[in-house]
Amino acid sequence: MKREKRRRQHHDKDKDKDMDQDQDQLTTIVTSNNNESLPSSSSLPLLPNEIIRDIAIYFTVKKLDPTKTRAIGCSSSSSELHELKECLIDSSSSWWISSINEGSFHNGKGEEYVEFELDNTKIVRLSTVLISIPMLPTGPLSVRTMRLDCCAASNNNSNNNNNKEQQWKPITPILTVDNRNGWQRIELNEPIDAQYIRLVCLSNQASRLLDNNEITEINDTYGHAMTAVGFFTVKFE
């Protein structure tokens, strides 16, 4: 009996020893795998600063307040009766029209702009453009196609105009304004984060008549409209 008992005790010790060895091997394997799949934080690559900045801006930029928008400049103007700021007032009695004699428009096409400050202290988010025009036949020079340009400059100091001019760039595809009265709401494909923008007019409603061969020459009725562009009111949201 004693011999059998000693034999069993010896067998149990060998079994426990084998189990300990198996456990050690398993621990080694798990530790090794964890080290391979979970590198230390110091070895993880950091995101580029540009991406970090864009992520931060996305979560911190606020939607613009339309009451803070100001018209601060334009490429040219033919109106001596209305101040530039009146293009932000909802009225059919005031407007902005580019210069008829000194502007860039020919045959109803060119590039004339009005520049806006969306906020006087910070970048804000813009997602919608609303515009009002007089329709044909009374509004042949009303804007037909346009785009938005953006400037990343943090101020509008005239001493920095040369530097700021280099930073203007288109930020929307061409936007189309229908030939109809009343407010037209244009939702942008992607929101724009900016402090300064330009509404750049590219063609007027009269140019559509030329494109569609509805008029074949510049006549007395639409002659003045071939060299200018404009609108009643614009609003940003």
Residue 117: CB partners within 8 Å, gap ≥ 6? 69, 70, 72, 156, 195, 196
Q: Is the per-residue pLDDT at 205 higher than 50?
A: yes
pTM of the entire structure? 0.70
- What would the pLDDT profile of 220-230 be if each residue is shown by its tens digit? 555 566 789 99
Buried b (16+ CB within 10 A) or exposed e, 137-165: eebbbbbbbbbbbbbebeebeeeeeeebe
Q: What average pLDDT score do residues 21-37 get?
A: 49
Question: How many other CB atoms sit within 10 Å of the CB of residue 229?
Answer: 33
pLDDT band at 17 (very low <50, low <70, confident <90, very high): low
Give domain 66-236's CATH architecture. Answer: Sandwich (2.60)
pLDDT band at 80 (very low <50, low <70, confident <90, very high): confident
Q: Is the per-residue pLDDT at 148 higher than 90?
A: yes
Most confident of 7-21, 22-36, 84-98: 84-98
Backbone angles phi, psi at 134, to 5 degrees: -85, 130
- What would the pLDDT profile of 93-136 be if each residue is shown by its tens digit? 999 999 987 889 988 999 999 999 999 999 999 999 999 999 98
C-alpha 76/C-alpha 204 separation (Å) is 16
Q: How big is the chain by its Cα radius of gyration, in Å?
A: 34
Q: Is the per-residue pLDDT at 14 higher than 70?
A: no
With a pLDDT cut of 90, the percent of the chain lying above it is 49
